[in-house]
A and B are shown apart, each in its own frame.
Chain A
Amino acid sequence: MTSWQNNRAARDARIAAGAGLAHGKVVEASDATRLLEAVIRPGDRVCLEGDNQKQADLLSRALLAVDLSKVNDLHMVQSGVVLPEHLDLFDRGVAKRLDYAYSGPQSARIARMLFGGKIELGAVHTYLELFARYFIDLTPHVALIAAVSADRDGNLYTGPNTEDTPTVVEATAFKDGVVIAQVNEIVETVPRVDIPADRVHFVVKSDKPFFVEPLFTRDPAAITEGQILTAMLAIKGIYAPYGVQRINHGIGFSTAAIELLLPTFGERLGLKGRIATHFALNPHPALIPAIESGWVRQIHSFGSEVGMDDYIRARSDVYFTGPDGSLRSNRAFCQTAGLYACDMFIGSTLQIDLQGNSSTVTASRIAGFGGAPNMGSDARGRRHPSEPWLKAGAEADPDSPAPLRRGRKLVVQIGETFGDKNVPLFVEKLDAIELAEKLNLELAPVMIYGDDVTHIVTEEGVANLLLCRTAQEREQAIRGVAGYTDVGRGRDRSMVAQLRERGVIRRPEDIGINPLDADRNMLAARSIKDLVRWSGGLYAPPSKFRNW
């Protein structure tokens, strides 16, 4: 007779094998490796929870130490390859195949290992895309996750950094997988239940809190006049005319400058309440002055940010919080919000080509995509109208009848024409293409495709690509804001002048901005200490940002 419950039986056998090491569900940290050897089978798909912020670091070390005769050739399906141990797994042979989304700090080593054939690469994804595949063809057999605390039954409190956990657990626990959580402490009662106990099979108590990276803190002291100028151009040249209220900001210094200019420059332009009111955004410390000045009505977050917990707790009108008072973040929902419910994405990149394609890949680094492509793309399934979306759609396609015309999300690339060490932002050919050739990839790792980009902002001005009618116009519009880079100096001057006549390119003076007014005194906060002061002492920056 055919059995239709083989997977459930296999799951029960795994749990039974691990149960000998547990008291109830609780396993000592010293037994973590033995637990993993008991539960994981060779070739399993394993999600080792690691994203761009929180890391199941104890479980990574435990997995690295397994007996290779018991556990080997794993297929890792995880959003972040961030800790050295994540790659050590492949060096040692514990894991063989990888599907992931983001690899910030390991971007150079992951590139070397891919070139060296140490890792069999499935694909590099965006967060939402990888989460989606957890439910279709990359469902984990075992999930190794991180939480703040657990009770004896296994109810988990993930705290402000809930991030990916509910998504990973949903896919694993409801498809006959095993969920193992590392927690900072075992408590009588958890402050709130983020993950119900019946989805958690084992709990390992860690001797130290899981690692969290303060990835979204930008020190206002490091913001340059050039970044302030581009931020002014964006506010007055894009936010204001489109009336953009629902926004996702990238993590660069240019967007930090925008956040710090809202209560000063933005206020003088009379834009309060008309722009930048709702965000899909991590709790950026740089947004504190705008929040305190009454600009921001609501923020939903992918994760939390180190040092912001008390501030968030005290500003629950703005942030999403649980019954315990602390932030509830959720990466999958926030990515969805950024994709469907925001009218604008604005962020920086490392390279932009003549078609407007952009990439953060360089010849020796593969940083992955993270979430930017979800934010920085037009959602073709969107159906609700809004003023900026309709206006952008009308600019792109003035001839279609309005009731049948799609709107467009504003996807804005902002940056200075030269980046760190005088490396040009604009290039004839993306390094990503060379990398794809070297690694034999079918797709070059393009962060944001040119046909999704609507505006490019540099210190030289704003290029509105929605108004370009031919590929040639588009190329000249990009060259026309590329400054003194080779791409910029290669412009057709008369065509750029015509594009300026038509308002496709707008210079600072066309927008009513004098570059000489771009001054650090315009920033609402000029240091981390200023941010602490704005927060009334509620923001507690991590030590590496304290210099007083």
Chain B
Amino acid sequence: MEDLSFHHPVRERAGGIRQSAIVGVVASGNLEVLVERVLPDAECAVEIKTAAMGFGEVWSAVIGDFVERYSPGGLKFSINDGGARPDTVSLRLAQAVRLIAGSDR
């Protein structure tokens, strides 16, 4: 197991009013994302527990692009990762933002 943690300043607050949401499952090649609206509007945090060691650089790139693209201000993400591929991580994070924003598909 490896623990990783990222903090980013964010342009704007994430939409919606839901306080928390959860997407995905902990399984091999998959991940679970818990998202909570607990931070100041201009901050975002991502805490990762991953089964795969040594992918810090890739995580950093994935999270950086995600924050840039979705501006998830005020959100804290807790990830339980079962060795998911980067594209799956991006997808789950985007799904988490959509879910907490409260809009349905």
Binding site for B on A (CB under 8 A): 224-226, 229, 416-418, 422, 459-460, 483-484, 489, 515-519
Contacts and interface: CB of A to CB of B under 8 A. Distances in A.
B13 to A, nearest CB: 20
B46 interface: no
Contact of A417 (B83, B86, B94, B95): B86
Q: Which of A229, A418, A460 has the most CB of B within 10 A?
A: A418
A483 B87 contact: yes
B58 interface: yes
A416 B85 contact: yes
Given A516-B105, A517-B105, A484 B94 contact: no
Interface of B: 52, 57-58, 61-62, 83, 85-88, 90-91, 94-95, 98, 105
Nearest to B83: A422
Contact of B98 (A416, A418, A422, A516): A516
Given A422-B52, A515-B94, A459 B87 contact: yes
B interface majority secondary structure = helix
A418 B105 contact: no
Nearest to A518: B91
A419 to B, nearest CB: 9
Nearest to B58: A484
Contact of B86 (A224, A229, A484): A484
Contacts of A417: 85-87
Nearest to B59: A484
Nearest to A225: B91
A416 B95 CA distance: 19
Contacts of A422: 52, 83, 85
Nearest to A460: B87
B61 A226 contact: no
A213 B61 CA distance: 43
B5 to A, nearest CB: 19
B16 to A, nearest CB: 14
Contact of A516 (B58, B85, B87, B94): B94
B33 to A, nearest CB: 13
Given A418-B85, A422-B52, A515-B90, 13 more contacts: A225-B88, A225-B91, A226-B85, A226-B87, A417-B85, A417-B86, A418-B87, A422-B83, A484-B62, A484-B86, A516-B105, A518-B91, A519-B105
B43 to A, nearest CB: 24
11 contacts: A225-B88, A226-B87, A226-B91, A418-B85, A418-B87, A459-B87, A484-B61, A515-B91, A516-B91, A516-B105, A517-B105
B46 to A, nearest CB: 15
B23 to A, nearest CB: 11
A484 B87 CA distance: 8
A417 B58 CA distance: 13
Nearest to B69: A509
Contacts of B94: 515-516
Nearest to B65: A484
A528 to B, nearest CB: 21
A205 B41 CA distance: 79
Contacts of A519: 105
Q: Which of A422, A460, A489 has the most CB of B within 10 A?
A: A422
